[in-house]
Structure 1
Amino acid sequence: MWAMSGWESQLLETGFLGIFLCPLWTLSRLPQHTPTSRIVLWGFRWLIFRIMLGAGLIKIRGDRCWRDLTCMDFHYEAILIVSGNLSFLNWLTMVPSLACFDDATLGFLFPSGPGSLKDRVLQMQREIRGARPKPRFGSVVRRAANVSLGILLAWLSVPVVLNLLSSRQVMNTHFNSLHIVNTYGAFGSITKERTEVILQGTASPNASAPDAVWEDYEFKCKPGDPSRRPCLISPYHYRLDWLMWFAAFQTYEHNDWILHLAGKLLASDAEALSLLAHNPFASRPPPRWVRGEHYRYKFSRPGGRHAAEGKWWVRKRIGAYFPPLSLEELRPYFRDRGWPLPQPL
């Protein structure tokens, strides 16, 4: 991880601070005389502050970069986003956020009662309140380590603060060889419109026939059927739904994997279908043709006509994303790329 940058550095910094939460000489679940250092807690708070601030700043910079193609570092970052499953970021961001809550706020999460861990902590707090504990060797070493950590974080934060105050912030980067105080920012641009690729299949022998009935495949969470309520998936997300969202920004020539998926659907591949929420051909033979349609989605207005009809979304067709394809037409495409040929059931 030390050779990484961006989100991997966020993992590195979080783990580095976590080291100083542990006592030096004991593995006890509740060690005495080693309270959590306020320096470490403020280190976590400084980390979550930079994460949240950077997430907002990079939106401004990202919108500027989409209009200015000279921001090559941003475009490289955007490409990296497409090839990764970044749901771990949600969990990773929760960890330093915990340092923003005190014991009274989080106490309800732990069982109470005689002999419980919570009761022992409260007892220890009552014993040391107002008292001056006798200096111990371990406590002195720990205090020296924490003070050294605070000085190190303050020194490494100087270029980070200067960068955040600059009109040309550099996000998702590090400013020192230790990679433990960095700038972060997820998603450099938020689009103003929501476009989606809707995959459809038909059993008609002629895909261009006016009476051909095209039926939608439904994904587990991304918008599809306008009447389906948006789902809540944080802090987890579905990788295929995620990639379909990015595919809608470009063309299928930039996302040849979507034709691979179309071939799997034409063969009713069980593994591919397990990633979907609804297969319209579940109890029938596989479709003869599969196509991709490009739609623009908007939320229906509360109290409007579409909302009254039970629709969460209003969608408008933009055009074809990829033309109707049969399994036979895709076989040479699969073969040229060395992909296993899908076998229909």
Structure 2
Amino acid sequence: MGKIALTKDALLWCMSAIYLFAFVSLYSQIPGLYGDNGILPARLVLPVDSKPELKKFQHQPTLLWLLPAIGLDVPNGMDFICILGAAISLICMISRRMRDAFMFAALWFLYFSVYQVGQTFLWFQWDILLLETGFLTILLAPMHLFKWRDPVCRHHDSIMMWLMKWLLFRLMFASGVVKLTSMCPTWWGLTALDWHYESQCIPTPLAWYAHQLPEWFQRLSVVMTYVIEILLPFLFFSPIRNLRLFAFFGQILLQVLIIITGNYNFFNLLTIALCISLLDDQFLGRNNNKNLSANQSSLMSRLMSRLSTTISLVTYAGMVYAMVKYFKLTINTKQYTVESEIAFTSDEFFEAIQVAMPYTIGFGIASLALEVLSALWRCLSEDSGFFNKLWSLFQCLIMTFAAVGMFTISLVPHCVVDRTAYHNLWPEIHKMKESTDFLHLTHSYGLFRRMTGVGGRPEVIIEGSYYPESGWKPYEFMYKPGNLSAMPPFVAPHQPRLDWQMWFAALGSYEHNKWFVNLIYRLLDGQQEVLDLIAHNPFENKPPKYVRAKLYHYSYTKFGDTNADWWKRWNAQEYLPTVNKDNLMEYVRKSGIIKKVKKPKKGEVTEEPTLAKEVTVQIRELIGHLPGPTLICSLFIPAVIMSYFF
């Protein structure tokens, strides 16, 4: 692989931007989600007791334990953390010299701190992926103490970049395999995309058009998804640059198509950032071949070029052959379609995965060993003094130790897709993984495991009323489907976490979503912080006396329908029976979401707010009311412009 100085810096810049999206998006929702009057008050996760803060921190490592020392309670503390995280992200985006291990360690710990109290609204795979990628970014970023100097590229950077590729491999490979190991009939029948575009959480307007594509094209798209997610990841570690670039463009194509048809916050951008690890500086415009001698360029490079071209063509031909064989691809010349069908059984697939998993581990070990040996050789062969060589070698050995450790514990989540491989791992590896679980350094992934919404997406509609006999009025959420004529939005990279949880709530029952009952109580109480998370409150003067929830099934309208709406719905049934505040009072008292405010006694001196609290409150009053997408754009666009000049 060629030089990666520009590539590494591009990846660090992208991680800075993604951290900005994550912190700002969360910041805009803190009062309604985690405030004292929110749906899941964060103070309940950090109970007040007599234990020393240090012991509390050891049990649950989060900066929120320490912020009361500067006068910040839990909600203000979360505001402070997100503001600080956004500020550091902006600095890292603007200044290349500031993109170092210390800054990214701060970003990782800040996000880790809010994750500790995030509860169900932060338990998404992309939040875990951001923590894992963020930790690897700390190892990749330079230890840059002297900010007035430009950071230099180090020989062991390629080892850390390899860890990024390994994470990308695990993410994509597992996401492809679990679609078949789940035994979901839509994935096995190649009909998943017949339902995906309308059943995903928050579709975009283009998803409506993608849903109208012919069935044969949808089936072929599922086949291509399997190829991109299961086969192409093996090319990530290819020594042949053309194959790596082919795998890169395949992944980018998939991520871009997901971005334009679905609002998956910063997840796809984070995956694209990981894909940068497949590139080199030559791709980004820097020529790495200037130092080649004339003989090398005329003879050796020609031979290597022809060999790599031959291997590449054989690889492409093999992939086409595998697609035709295992998915029965045939061209229907009469109807101008491509017919497809899975040509292997579930038993054959499980057997193939069982055989392949040990090879993926061995492949990873061999690839990492080769990368380490190459880095060590560069350290020994560099044209510098003895002590510089010794220092480079020492750094390389330290990073090799860290890389081997990260790779070892990652084998546990990697093998989750196959029970045999999982149980065949040495017990010591499982123990190593368990000892680091509290830091969330590595995790298993598997997106779109089963296709939901087959036959119509379930959607919960919350309604309120002063008097049930006089009719009901619906609450309109900002982004999730509700109003049949409302166009689906573009909202990424912002993640409206309440809208997302409403999607999950529709897949189950309110008994299994305790936060939903809290939401209903906040609506009955007319809590403004929660109402700010909703697009339209039909009860502006005073809250309703009664609230209920109904479950509908939604599907897209089609081309040619006389109805101009985007959606149609049917089959209304009860999700939550009609309740009032009295019905929920016993529950909310036990849950502790009602905070008892102590009024100061006459003559009692109240504490003056600290500078940190005053600044945090002022920033909240100044920009906290802005919608997430607006706030993100207002910070991201100036940062991009400024980064061009610095």
TM-score (norm 2): 0.38
Q: Which amino acid aligns with 2:163?
A: G
The alpha-carbon deviation at position 273 of structure 1 amounts to: 0.6
| Local SS of the residue matching 2:493 | coil
Whether 2:167 is the aligned partner of 1:47: answer: yes
Q: How far, CA to CA, are the matches of 1:248 and 1:270 in structure 2?
A: 24
**DSSP 3-state at the match of 2:274:** helix
Q: 1:197 maps to what in 2?
A: 460
Aligned residue runs from structure 1 range 1-345, under 5 A: 8=128, 11-12=131-132, 14-16=134-136, 18-22=138-142, 30-32=150-152, 34=154, 37-63=157-183, 92-103=270-281, 129-130=291-292, 134-136=383-385, 137-138=387-388, 141-142=391-392, 145-146=395-396, 149=400, 152=404, 156=408, 163=415, 166=418, 177=432, 183-186=444-447, 188-193=449-454, 194-203=457-466, 205=467, 207=468, 209=469, 212-282=470-540, 284-301=541-558, 303-305=559-561, 308-335=562-589, 337-340=591-594
Give the match's secondary structure for 2:432: coil
| Residues 85-107 of structure 1 deviation map (CA, whole Å, 9 limit, x = unaligned) | x9675665454233234446657
CA contact (8 A) 1:55 1:185 kept: yes
Query: 1:11 touches 1:92 (CA, 8 Å); kept in 2?
Result: no
Query: Partners in 2 of 1:319 and 1:168 — Cα distance?
Result: 43
Given that residues 265 and 491 in structure 2 are in contact (C-alpha distance below 8 angstroms), is that contact kept between their aligned partners in structure 1? no
**Could you say if the C-alpha distance between residues 298 and 96 of structure 1 is closer, same or farther in structure 2, counting changes exceeding 3 Å?**
same
Report the AA paired with residue 452 of structure 2. T
Structure 1 match to 2:331? none
1 CA distance for matches of 2:578 and 2:414? 54
C-alpha root-mean-square deviation of aligned residues, in Å? 4.4
> Is the contact between residue 294 and residue 319 of structure 1 (CA under 8 Å) also seen in structure 2?
yes
Deviation, structure 1 residue 296 = 1.1
- Give how far 1:338 is off: 4.3
Offset of 1:294 from its aligned partner? 0.3
C-alpha distance in structure 2 between counterparts of 1:290 and 1:320, whole Å: 12
Determine helix, strand or coil for the equivalent of 2:522: helix
User: In the comparison of the two structures, how many residue pairs are matched?
Assistant: 292
Distance 2:443 2:283 in 1: 29
User: Is the CA contact (8 Å cut-off) linking 2:412 and 2:422 kept in structure 1?
Assistant: no
Note if contact 1:202-1:288 (Cα within 8 Å) is conserved in structure 2.
Answer: yes
Which segments of 5 or more consecutive residues in structure 1 lack a partner in the other structure?
A: 65-85, 108-121
* Change in 2 beyond 3 A, CA 1:214/1:253: same
SS where residue 48 of structure 1 aligns? helix
Structure 2 CA distance for aligned equivalents of residues 161 and 292 of structure 1 = 38
The TM-score with structure 1 as length reference comes to 0.65
> Which ranges of structure 2 fall in alignment gaps of 5 or more residues?
1-60, 62-115, 117-124, 185-263, 294-380, 597-646
Q: How far 1:185 sits from its partner (Å)?
A: 2.9
Aligned residues of 1:90 and 1:234 also touching (Cα < 8 A): no
Judged with a 3 Å threshold, the aligned counterparts in structure 2 of structure 1 residues 55 and 142 are, in CA distance, closer, same or farther, namely: farther
Which amino acid letter does the alignment assign opposite residue 142 of structure 1? S
Structure 2 vs 1, CA of residues 331 and 95 (structure 1 numbering), >3 Å: closer, same or farther? same
Give the AA of the match of 1:286.
P
Matching residue of 2:16: none
Compute the displacement of 1:21 (Å).
Answer: 4.2
Secondary structure, in 3 states, of the residue corresponding to 1:266? helix
Cα deviation for residue 196 of structure 1 reads 1.2
Tell me how far 1:199 sits from its aligned partner: 0.4
Distance 1:41 1:223 in 2: 40
> Contact conserved, 2:282 with 2:288, CA < 8 A, in 1?
no
> By percentage of residues, which structure has more strand?
1
Task: Measure the CA separation in 2 of the matches of 1:202 and 1:26.
Answer: 63
Instruction: Determine if contact 2:281/2:288 at 8 Å carries over to the other structure.
Output: no
Deviations 1:257-307 (A, max 9, x none): 32332232223221111110111223x443232110101122222x141xx
Q: What is the distance in 2 between the residues matched to 1:35 and 1:44?
A: 16
State the shift of 1:233 in Å. Answer: 2.9
**Structure 1 runs of 4+ with >6 Å offset:** 125-128, 178-182
Contact 1:297 1:313 in 2 (8 A): yes
**C-alpha distance in 1 between matches for 2:282 and 2:485:** 43
Report the AA paired with residue 98 of structure 1: I
Pair 1:27–1:187, CA change in 2 (3 A): farther
Alpha-carbon distance change, 143 to 11 in structure 1, aligned in 2, over 3 angstroms: farther
SS in 1 for 2:507: coil
- SS of 1:177's equivalent? helix
Q: Distance in 2 between matches of 1:139 and 1:92?
A: 35
CA separation in 2, counterparts of 1:200 and 1:156?
51
Q: What is the aligned-residue identity percentage?
A: 28
1:31-89: CA deviation from partner (whole Å, max 9, x where unpaired): 4564774343333222212111212223333457xxxxxxxxxxxxxxxxxxxxx9675
1:285 to 1:19, Cα distance in 2 relative to 1, 3 A = closer
**Higher RCO, Cα 8 Å, sep 6+:** 2
Deviates more, 1:254-263 or 1:180-189: 180-189
Give me the whole-angstrom Cα distance separating, in 2, the residues matched to 1:243 and 1:291: 17
**Deviating more after overlay: 42-51 vs 323-332:** 323-332
State the distance in 1 between where 2:144 and 2:590 align. Answer: 59
